[in-house]
Each structure stands twice: as C-alpha cells, then as structure tokens.
Amino acid sequence: MQVAGVRFTVVGAGRSGLAASNALATRGGDVRLVEARADATRPETLDPRVTFVAGTNLPRPGDVAVLSPGVAEVSPVRAEIAAVAAEVIGEVELFYRLSPAPILAITGTDGKSTTTTMLGAIAALANPSTFVGGNLGNPLCEGLDELTRSSLVIAEISCFQLTTCVDFRPRVAIVTNIAEDHLNYHGSFAAYQAAKRRVWAAMTASDTLILSADDPYIAAWERPSAPRIRTFSLANPDADAYFDGATLWLVRAGRNEALMRRDELPLLGGHNVANALAAALAADAWGIPLATAREALMAYAPLPHRLAPIATIDGVRWVNDSKATNANAAAAGIRAIDGPLLLLAGGSEKDADFTAFGALVRERTRVAVLFGQTRNSLASAIGASHNTIVVETLDEAVRAAQRLAEPGDTVLLGPACASFDQFKSYGHRGDVFTALVRDLAAASNPADDGASADAKIKSEGA
C-alpha cells in the first residue's frame, strides 16, 4: 500500500484511531485525525506529524478515510464520509494492507476472545514472533513495527471492524457461532450476519475457513466456494474436530487423533470445549503440530471476566462472567455451572430479545437478581412465576444475592447485556463486582486484616 505522500483522515481518536494515525505518519502519510467531540484534546501519544481536529467527523475531500469502528453501520455519518472521501476503510483493513505477516482471524458472536487467545498461545509455542491483537483491546496497527514476513498474526475481528474491510484476507478464519447481537449498530440481524460473513470475502482456495457445525444460523448460510471449509462440533463425529463427551478429537488425513481429555482442559463450560476445538483446528490448518496445541491448551488460563471464580464465602461460590454481554454468552455461562445458582443479570439496552434466555433462567437458576437499564425487560422475559428480585445497581444486586444465598450455591454475574448504563466497559463492571465480593470476603472474617480474604480470592482464581 502506498502511504508516503498520500492524504489520510482517520475518523475517531480512540485507541485504534490513534494507532492507525501513528502508523500512517511513521510511513510518510499526510495524516489528519478528527474527533467528533468538540471538547476533545490532542492525544498525548499522537505522532507530532499528525494534524488533530476536534468537533468534526468529516475527512478532507479526496482523502482516504480510516473509519472508527464506533461509527454505526446505520449512522448517516458513514454516507457523509463516503461522499467526500476517495476511499473508506477501517483500521483492520489498513493493517492488512501494511502488514508483512500472514493473519489468522477469529470472529463470531461469542467465544472470540477466548478462541483468539487459545490460538495465540498455541501459535506462540510454534512461532515466538506471534502477535495477538485486534478486538481484544490492543489494535492491530500497534503491532506493525514488530512484524516481519516470518511473524504470525492472530487477530480477533469484530463485526464492527468487518464492515470496513475490503481486501482483508486471513489465511485461516474462524466463525465461532452466531446469535442476535448489536442490532442497534447494524440495523437488523440479517445485516449483522452479513457483516460476519465478510471475514471470508477475500479468502482464496488455498485458505481455510472454520465453522461451527452446531450453529443453526451458520448452517443456513450459503457456503463460499473459495476457501477450504472445516467444521467443529460438540456432538457430531462427522465434523473435522469434535467432542465425544470425554475426549476432544481432530480428524487429520482421514484418521481420528485425540487432542486431549476433557479433564485436561482447565476451563468451565461446554462452550470452552468448542473454543478449544476451533483453535486446535485452526492451528492444524496452519501446520502446527497437534502436540503443540495440546501443550498450550493444557496450560491455558481463563481470561479476566470470563467465568472467573473470585471467592467462596461461607460456602457460597462467587463467579465473574462480566464478559457475557449478550444473552447467548450468558446462557453458556449458566450452563457451565453445576449445582444451585443465583444469577445477577442486567445492563444497557441493545434491542435484544430475552425470551429464550428467560426460559433458561427459569429452568437453571434458583433466584435471578436483575439490575441496570434492562432489569424490567429481563424480569418480563423470565416471568412472575420465578423467584426474581429487581434492583437498580450492581451493588444492590450483590447485597441481595448475599442475603438469599445458601451454602452450596453459586452466585454468577452473567449480565446478558452490555455495561454502558452504569460502567465504562464490561471489564470495569467485572472489576467493581470483584471489589464488592472482596469486601464481602473481608467482612466474613472481621478479625483478619484483609490478607486472608485476598489469599482466598487469589487461590480461587488461580
């Protein structure tokens, strides 16, 4: 991609916009970074060669526009930018055009981050020059200067990012699963699914696409003709990677080969078995030995805020699954918990349908404590026949759960919603929940100085 002497406007001064601006400036581009907020100030780490303008989203006429993923697909701003820009791309597309290294990409509704970091751990054992990034929180363009042709990139790619991909070609791509999500961003479930399918738009016959064989929405998709397709399943032995209830298997050169026993994978939930199968299948497609995948998966630790045990207090286990920002992810967390369950759920609106989730809550939980903007819509979906408590804040929800919980119960923060009604992010919500539980643990040992509560929390999450 020609950058030197070319004019670019990067739209949005978030972390990915900052990374894109700096990467372009380093390579000799004439770069302008714009931010819609009129009160925005110049980012401290912005390359001094970049011009910064607050109070607008519009590029200079004829510029290549690098669009923030925060601009919704349904937003009229997209059309306004396209009307004056020479081309509109996103940070992921920009990275693809500049990167010397091949990319293995992961998308889907849920399990993206876990599958990405699983595959990243496997790849790093095989190739120390592996970069893992993307929608995980570290933009791909931040890693550009570290990469060579011998490097390997493992990239989590969101539906937002895919809407601005044009030539983006991962050599291996995974679609973990599909469920209704981000309808307010895309305008419809059909548009959301179409965005996910863009991950394979530029793939060729020498590339490999990995799909869930268990997902009904993916099953209804028209399959692309170009990339090779391999599938994974929690039940179907005809898939290329499958689980028989005790062992994870890969089919290689027509032979079934054991990846690992279920008890060797240190993660809760069947959904994490599916994530491991997908990651191992992608590694195999890239030529990484099965033994390397096994070694990495056996040592894999859960990511923060994903079914992470915090503490057991007076016989009650507290688990943080704040990353469950939609009903499908929260349902997976509920199914991963054995024994009596108190669910803490709620958050900000995303135009979600909670009907099926409500039925699962009735079936699998003893009590549902609902908070946040969606508390009433969740209560309606669950129904008046179930033991449901409706409060306003997460703090109130934790205190209600403490009163209601009995020894042997698990209290699960499984919000089924985004966090932006009361928190900065799902991570912030999870941190607040962890701090609240830490306070409960300390209060249950009033003679201690807090060290024993900290030790208990650390041992539970190890």
Inform me whether the pLDDT recorded for 313 exceeds 70: yes
| Closest C-alpha among 361, 358, 370 to residue 421 | 370
On whether both 188 and 60 belong to a single domain, the answer is no
| Closest C-alpha among 55, 352, 301, 331 to residue 180 | 352
Judged by DSSP in three states, 140 sits in helix
Mean pLDDT for all residues in the chain = 94
In angstroms, the CA 49 to CA 38 distance is 21
Inform me whether the pLDDT recorded for 119 exceeds 70: yes
On whether both 171 and 201 belong to a single domain, the answer is yes
On whether both 49 and 183 belong to a single domain, the answer is no
Query: How sure is the predictor about 165, in pLDDT bands with cuts at 50, 70 and 90?
Result: very high
Share of the chain above pLDDT 90, in %: 89
In angstroms, the CA 54 to CA 408 distance is 54
In a domain, 449, yes or no: yes
CATH number, domain containing residue 370: 3.90.190.20
| Weakest mean pLDDT among 239-248, 346-355, 440-449 | 440-449
Phi, psi of 424 (to 5 degrees): -80, -30
On whether both 40 and 169 belong to a single domain, the answer is no
Query: How sure is the predictor about 457, in pLDDT bands with cuts at 50, 70 and 90?
Result: very low
Question: Per residue in 378-412, pLDDT tens?
Answer: 999 999 999 999 999 999 999 999 999 999 999 99
On whether both 281 and 165 belong to a single domain, the answer is yes
Task: Choose the final residue of a domain: 62, 91, 120.
Answer: 91
On whether both 228 and 262 belong to a single domain, the answer is yes
Inform me whether the pLDDT recorded for 257 exceeds 50: yes
Share of the chain above pLDDT 70, in %: 96
Domain that holds residue 41: 7-91
| Closest C-alpha among 342, 402, 351 to residue 374 | 351
Question: Per residue in 353-366, pLDDT tens?
Answer: 999 999 999 999 99
In a domain, 366, yes or no: yes
In angstroms, the CA 60 to CA 12 distance is 14
On whether both 319 and 258 belong to a single domain, the answer is no
On whether both 17 and 105 belong to a single domain, the answer is no
Task: Choose the final residue of a domain: 266, 298, 330.
Answer: 298
Task: Say what the pLDDT of residue 461 is.
Answer: 34
Query: How sure is the predictor about 256, in pLDDT bands with cuts at 50, 70 and 90?
Result: very high
Inform me whether the pLDDT recorded for 455 exceeds 80: no
In a domain, 202, yes or no: yes
Task: Say what the pLDDT of residue 446 is.
Answer: 63
Query: How sure is the predictor about 268, in pLDDT bands with cuts at 50, 70 and 90?
Result: confident
DSSP 223: P
| Weakest mean pLDDT among 87-96, 152-161, 297-306 | 297-306
Task: Say what the pLDDT of residue 459 is.
Answer: 32
Inform me whether the pLDDT recorded for 454 exceeds 80: no
On whether both 68 and 112 belong to a single domain, the answer is no
On whether both 87 and 104 belong to a single domain, the answer is no
Inform me whether the pLDDT recorded for 349 exceeds 90: no
Question: Per residue in 216-252, pLDDT tens?
Answer: 999 999 999 999 999 999 999 999 999 999 999 999 9
In a domain, 303, yes or no: no
In angstroms, the CA 351 to CA 21 distance is 33
On whether both 283 and 424 belong to a single domain, the answer is no
On whether both 123 and 153 belong to a single domain, the answer is yes
Q: What is the mean pLDDT of residues 437-456?
A: 64
CATH number, domain containing residue 279: 3.40.1190.10
- Whole-structure pTM value: 0.81
